[in-house]
Structure 1
Amino acid sequence: MSVKYVAMKLISFVDKGSYSNIVLNDAFKEFYLTAKEKAFITEIFYGVLRNKNFLDYMIEKNTKVIKKEWIRNLLRISIYQLTFMSSDAKGVVWEATEIAKKHGIAISKFVNGTLRNYLRNKDLEIKKLHDEKNYEILYSIPQYFCDILEKQYGSENLNQAIISLKKIPYLSVRVNKLKYSEEEFEEFLKERDIQIIKKVDSVYYVNSGLIINSKEFKEGKIIAQDASSYLAAKNLGAKPNELVLDICAAPGGKTAVLAEEMENKGEIIAIDIHQHKKKLIEENMKKLGIDIVKATVLDARNVNKQGRKFDKILVDVPCSGYGVIRKKPEILYTKNRENVEELASLQLEILNSAADILKDGGELIYSTCTIISQENTENVEKFLNERKEFKVKTLNIPENVSGEYDKLGGFSINYKEEIMDNFYIIKLVKEEKC
């Protein structure tokens, strides 16, 4: 099957509600593809998702009604190549025409004419969008989200914030120090001529995805993880022999950081609301050589009813996900203002429930993979106004991590950070009663 047919199929799945990372991984398992073919599919697949509003706008500018889904996706891919990749224009048009020809001469002529017409008008149309500052089309960012970004970062930083979210992400992996060392991993990279783009403690951003297929990855010596989520878990400061709770823990990346910090001594209760995610946590812990984790199915809102109190709690709550748009661009088309309001309420409920079962003197991390202040600073501020026994504690953020502290002392990894996921982290301590 042509790689473009595969990409067209994957785009259709995401349009119908599937998660981009899952359908892409499934495709790589289903089809025999070379490394070059995988790279090309990844580029055009995510490229279309990141720029879907722009591509559909340009298609509508140059066509009438398109009834067949595959034709729209073929045009999306082709226009993406013609606009955002250094592809040979004639080659792109020819290939699209040949694909369409298999469905009839009339369709092939339609595709050919549409793309040639786009090429004639492309520069003028793009200039017009820039002049009008039509970011909703130009960068495929919903207007309400543009408004949120402008409110949070100011109009002078809006363009930079939008462009930051559109960057192509690098693969990041963390060294599992229970099985491996950073020195061994760096030697592994050197032998394969893989470059380190950025390093945050034991998390490495690299310029090759091939290590996911390596023996070291399969044996649990390295684990796929972003440095942002790593820092959330690291800052909890879990110690050996403590009783630690990890809320909404699946798939277990942050749980593994906690276990490593605890030297695999003590006990971690890792909860998730879904049974299949409990199994995922258990499988990952086994792979990583961790045996202090007990995975449990539980609604995080009811965690205060389970009967135990904890030394440390990681409260990484369900969120809108706007901090991981680089990796999951479809979020821009599936979320809205109402989702944020509902999530903020849920997050506060979970945080209060967790706070009830933290020991006096215990510490808690509240974190999200979103940049929305309503889910971050505003939520924590509401919590602190009600729970006077909690105080903010200083975080340890490495110097090579960019972002900003909020008025409470929480840290937002935001548009200033070139490589890592956007994330919010704040540390709270429950003062001992006199």
Structure 2
Amino acid sequence: MNARVLALLALDKILLKQAYSNIALNDVLNKYPLSEEDASFCTKLVYGTVQNLIYLDYQLKPYLRKGKQEPLIMNLLRIALYQMLFLNVPDYAAINEAVRRAKKKSPALGGFVNAVLREIQRNGKRSLAGLSPVERLSVEYSYPEWLVKRYVGEYGIEGAEAIFASERNDRPLYIRINRLRGTETEALSALEREGISVTETVLPLAYEVAGAVQKTEAFRDGRITIQDLSAQYAARMLSPKKGEKVIDLCAAPGGKAAQLADLMENEGKIIACDIHPHRLELMEKSFRRLGVKNATTLLLDARESNRNFPKASFDSVLADVPCSGLGVVARRPEIKYNLSEVKLRELVSLQGEIMDSAWALLKPGGFFLYSTCTLDWDENEAQIKAFLERHGDAEIVEEKKILPQQYNSDGFYLCKLRRLI
């Protein structure tokens, strides 16, 4: 099994079975281990092909037979064309591998794949001239047109394009220093000894790193944890005090709850909830590594949180609700193809249910932090507007939207509310 073959296996899972890209890729690489260089190439093929799917199909369309193409052949063509158009790979290498795989299905298919790719090689890239602004953005950045229209409606053509373009950038890896296992200085010294370079960011205790941090002693000992820069704003904006009682709804994998514990110096009480039992186990494992002592996990449907606790029993509530995930498309590009307007409406309804139920748990004067990793107006600003109309005892304290290009991190939305009575 070589990198291209494994990329094809992963792509089939992602596009045909709607598997998450990171999980599909990890599955094939764990089953068929590659060298570090080949694994990196495989990863680039998978993410690059998925990220540019609509553009690749636009380039292929004039050369395809009428009617629906066989999925295996389409994915072979896409992977090969991605290499030809985006990577520094000789055309012959990309074409020959695709033809060889197609011939295993049938000689005729091998000939078809060869003909399509050779034609594109001769004719060059298909122009985007003549497309409307929305059509151009859809093709160039591989976003469904209905989503492009939503982005243009909120951010304008230039704003939408800036977001889409930023998702093509390589994202740095961010860590958070965990003071429950020692000081910031000690953690940075430990990383330096192991050859990990660090760069300061706009947030305290948050660093951009280069190197295999998960293999370091600092990571194993819990001195650091991997957490995107944007996600680190949530706990800081909620800013709970030592000794308070906090509930973190939809908490898995537990990064924000662990950061709350750090800010609270392991004093007070944090209840970290999730609806999936196996995710509770992941949180508990993470809490042990990070030395979190004041958090317990609870299996809970966040829509029913008000049935599980007395009214006004928490000083702070963190609701990092299920969302479309449009802020993390750079890391999970399949999101933009799997989402639909129907699914989006269902998510907005679910988010509202969670907020309404959890609001009853908050003490008067307490704080409620609503957060998402999406850039969609209906899930963010409009959701808060509707909530305020339903709850006259709520007021906005602070609101922040992080666009992906702002810090070269995930897109994120946060709104801190105070309960008045």
- TM-score, normalized by the shorter chain, greater than 0.5: yes
- 1:222-233 mapped onto 2 (5 Å cutoff): 222-233=224-235
Q: 1:170, 1:205 within 8 Å by CA — same for their partners in 2?
A: yes
| In 2, Cα distance between equivalents of 1:184 and 1:130 | 55
| In 1, Cα distance between equivalents of 2:190 and 2:124 | 45
| In 2, Cα distance between equivalents of 1:130 and 1:373 | 24
- Residue matched to 2:406: 417
| In 2, Cα distance between equivalents of 1:30 and 1:99 | 20
Unaligned runs of 5+ in 2: none
| Aligned-partner SS, 2:333 | coil
Q: 2:59, 2:126 within 8 Å by CA — same for their partners in 1?
A: no
1:146 to 145, 148, 157: 148
Following TM superposition, by how much is the alpha carbon of 1:127 offset from its aligned partner in structure 2, in angstroms? 5.3
- Residue matched to 1:398: none
Letter in 2 for 1:147: K
| In 2, Cα distance between equivalents of 1:325 and 1:250 | 19
| Aligned-partner SS, 1:417 | helix
Q: 1:415, 1:422 within 8 Å by CA — same for their partners in 2?
A: yes
Return closer, same or farther for 1:25/1:337 CA change in 2, 3 Å cut-off.
same
Identity %: 35
Could you give the per-residue CA deviations for residues 332-352 of structure 1, whole angstroms, max 9, x where no partner exists? 111111222221121122112
- Residue matched to 2:236: 234
Letter in 2 for 1:411: K
- Residue matched to 1:20: 21
Return closer, same or farther for 1:88/1:365 CA change in 2, 3 Å cut-off.
same
RMSD across aligned positions (CA)? 2.3
User: Which deviates more, 118-127 or 254-263?
Assistant: 118-127
Following TM superposition, by how much is the alpha carbon of 1:421 offset from its aligned partner in structure 2, in angstroms? 0.4
Could you give the per-residue CA deviations for residues 27-82 of structure 1, whole angstroms, max 9, x where no partner exists? 33323222212211111110011111122232332222675433322221111111
| In 2, Cα distance between equivalents of 1:38 and 1:373 | 37
- Residue matched to 2:387: 383
Letter in 2 for 1:6: L
| In 2, Cα distance between equivalents of 1:286 and 1:218 | 11
Q: 1:233, 1:257 within 8 Å by CA — same for their partners in 2?
A: yes
Q: 2:133, 2:157 within 8 Å by CA — same for their partners in 1?
A: no
Letter in 2 for 1:249: A
Alignment of 1:333 with 2:334, yes or no, is no
Return closer, same or farther for 1:198/1:338 CA change in 2, 3 Å cut-off.
farther
Q: 1:315, 1:367 within 8 Å by CA — same for their partners in 2?
A: yes
Letter in 2 for 1:4: R
Following TM superposition, by how much is the alpha carbon of 1:227 offset from its aligned partner in structure 2, in angstroms? 1.4
Could you give the per-residue CA deviations for residues 84-136 of structure 1, whole angstroms, max 9, x where no partner exists? 12222233223333444555554433322221111223334355669895222
Q: 2:227, 2:255 within 8 Å by CA — same for their partners in 1?
A: yes
Alignment of 1:175 with 2:177, yes or no, is yes
User: Which deviates more, 248-257 or 82-91?
Assistant: 82-91
| In 2, Cα distance between equivalents of 1:221 and 1:29 | 27
Return closer, same or farther for 1:290/1:148 CA change in 2, 3 Å cut-off.
same
User: Which deviates more, 217-226 or 236-245?
Assistant: 217-226
| Aligned-partner SS, 1:154 | helix
| In 2, Cα distance between equivalents of 1:39 and 1:151 | 37
- Residue matched to 2:84: 82
| Aligned-partner SS, 1:216 | helix
User: Which deviates more, 157-166 or 188-197?
Assistant: 188-197
Return closer, same or farther for 1:381/1:67 CA change in 2, 3 Å cut-off.
closer
Could you give the per-residue CA deviations for residues 304-340 of structure 1, whole angstroms, max 9, x where no partner exists? 1223410111011111111111111111111111222
- Residue matched to 1:95: 97
Return closer, same or farther for 1:211/1:26 CA change in 2, 3 Å cut-off.
farther
| Aligned-partner SS, 2:280 | helix
User: Which deviates more, 274-283 or 421-430?
Assistant: 274-283
| In 2, Cα distance between equivalents of 1:378 and 1:132 | 23
How many residues were matched structurally?
A: 416
Q: 2:190, 2:218 within 8 Å by CA — same for their partners in 1?
A: no
Alignment of 1:201 with 2:204, yes or no, is yes
Following TM superposition, by how much is the alpha carbon of 1:185 offset from its aligned partner in structure 2, in angstroms? 4.2
| In 2, Cα distance between equivalents of 1:59 and 1:203 | 43
- Residue matched to 1:156: 158
| In 2, Cα distance between equivalents of 1:217 and 1:279 | 19
| Aligned-partner SS, 1:26 | helix
Following TM superposition, by how much is the alpha carbon of 1:376 offset from its aligned partner in structure 2, in angstroms? 0.8
- 1:328-407 mapped onto 2 (5 Å cutoff): 328-394=332-398
Following TM superposition, by how much is the alpha carbon of 1:423 offset from its aligned partner in structure 2, in angstroms? 0.4
| In 2, Cα distance between equivalents of 1:224 and 1:25 | 18
| Aligned-partner SS, 2:323 | coil
Letter in 1 for 2:9: K
Unaligned runs of 5+ in 1: 395-409
Return closer, same or farther for 1:361/1:373 CA change in 2, 3 Å cut-off.
same
User: Which deviates more, 411-420 or 334-343?
Assistant: 411-420
Q: 2:134, 2:149 within 8 Å by CA — same for their partners in 1?
A: no
| In 2, Cα distance between equivalents of 1:263 and 1:216 | 19
Could you give the per-residue CA deviations for residues 168-194 of structure 1, whole angstroms, max 9, x where no partner exists? 333222222212444344445545554
| Aligned-partner SS, 1:10 | helix
Return closer, same or farther for 1:84/1:389 CA change in 2, 3 Å cut-off.
same
